[in-house]
Amino acid sequence: MSDPIEPQAPGEPEVPAGPYVYDYAASPQRQIAAPKTVPLPGLRAYLAEVAAQQAADEAKWKKMQADYETAKAKAEAEGKEPPKPPVKPVPRKDDTDMKTPWPQEARDPDLLRLQSLLGDRVEEAFEQAGELTCQVKKESLLEVLRTCRDDAELKYEMLADHAGTHYPAAKDFAFSLVYHLTSVSRRKRLRIRILVPEGFEPESACSVYPSANWMERETFDMLGVRFKDHPDMTRILCPEDWEGHPLRKEYPVVGWGQRDIDFRDDRAGVLMRIAMQKAGQMGINLKQP
């Protein structure tokens, strides 16, 4: 079940022979727009992006100045009036109440303590929107969680939530898995994040936080990430024989299509034919698995 499913090419659907209409263009929900970016929040990526943006702005400004110089020299040579000097563009100010939270350096004592305890197992630690994020190496997940729970200064007793995100556009990983820990006694929250490639089986957190049991089953069901040493690695929300993992980005919103319907009583095939025709007009391929 963990085999990745080949994404259906939206442009060239397999058209079965027969008098049915399979108009995929008429059914926009069937089209899959694969994401092109990797929206993985992080301080390093943000700083790199800001630096790149600044460099691009600077280059643009340099070019504007150079263009002005040449235009001015040309105008002088021709004896015309010199052009207007360029104005450095200032970022536009909008008067909304929005203050976009950008990633910031880790200053919280918990993050600093984690960094000192775990050393190079911490890949990145930052704060954003008042939330603490600590990205760790995928092999040392269990150890990190145990540290968070047992350390006397951290005491994150409860695993509040676990979720995963699919990043098909990323090169060296496919999923980010987050563990939202809550310290009931200290009233703090912490997010532990790991990045896993396709096929990698991270360790199950069930031995540290028993509440991870169903959450990891949901992640497996929805994304197809299997967990090592999980007591019951089965689907939880979808039926057992479901094909594909719905929250992957290559999965269309309306599904891969309906499964073959067994019309046992329909000896003459009348109902079947009507159903196929109706489905064909709606752009649904009943023959698709």
Partner 1 sequence: MFKSEELEINLGPQHPSTHGVLRVKLRLDGEVVVACTPVIGYLHRGVEKICENKTFFQGQVWTDRMDYVAAISNNLGWVEGVEKLFGIEAPRRARYIRTMLTEMNRIASHLLWLATHALDIGAMTVFLYAFRERELLLDLFEAFCGARLTTTAFRIGGLREDLPPGFIKQARAFQEVFPDRLEEYETLLSENRIWKKRTVGVARINAEDCIALGVTGPVLRAAGVPYDIRKAFPSAAYAEMDFEIPTRPEADTYARYLVRLAEMRQSHRIIQQCLDGLPEGPVMAKIPKILKSEVNEVYHAIEAPKGELGYYFVGEKGGLNPYRMHVRAPSFVNLQALPKMIEGRLLADVIAAIGTLDVVLGEIDR
Question: Binding of partner 1 at residue 132 (CB under 8 A)?
Answer: no
Positive or negative CA dihedral for 220, 202, 207, 113? negative
Question: Binding of partner 1 at residue 39 (CB under 8 A)?
Answer: yes
Question: Binding of partner 1 at residue 79 (CB under 8 A)?
Answer: no
Expressed in percent and rounded to 5, the helix, strand and coil fractions of the chain are 30, 15, 55
CA 99 to chain centre: 23
Question: Binding of partner 1 at residue 241 (CB under 8 A)?
Answer: no
Question: Binding of partner 1 at residue 98 (CB under 8 A)?
Answer: yes
CA distance 81 to 101: 48
When the beta carbons of 83 and 231 are compared against partner 1, the nearer one is 231
Listed in order, strand segments (DSSP E) in 10-142 are: 104-105, 122-128, 131-136
Burial tier of 202 (Cβ tally within 10 Å: 0-12, 13-18, 19+): buried
Question: Binding of partner 1 at residue 1 (CB under 8 A)?
Answer: no
Which of these segments, 12-20, 35-43, 135-143, 272-280, binds partner 1 (CB under 8 A)? 35-43
Q: Residue 266 corresponds to which amino acid? A: D
Number of H helices, E strands in the chain: 5, 6
Question: Binding of partner 1 at residue 61 (CB under 8 A)?
Answer: no
Question: Binding of partner 1 at residue 116 (CB under 8 A)?
Answer: no
When the beta carbons of 151 and 157 are compared against partner 1, the nearer one is 157
* Interaction mask 171-210, partner 1, x per CB under 8 A: -------x-x-x-x--x-x-x-----------------xx
Q: How far is the CB of 210 from partner 1 (least distance, A)?
A: 5
Q: How far is the CB of 81 from partner 1 (least distance, A)?
A: 41
CA 165 to chain centre: 4
List the structure tokens of 88.
Answer: 């450095």
CA distance 37 to 39: 6
Place of tokens 């995963």: 164
Question: Binding of partner 1 at residue 30 (CB under 8 A)?
Answer: no
Strands 175-183, 188-196: pairing kind:
antiparallel
When the beta carbons of 96 and 116 are compared against partner 1, the nearer one is 96
Q: Which residues bind partner 1 (CB under 8 A)?
A: 35, 37, 39-41, 45-46, 94-102, 128-131, 133, 157-161, 163, 165-166, 178, 180, 182, 184, 187, 189, 191, 209-211, 213-215, 222, 235-239, 246-247, 251, 253
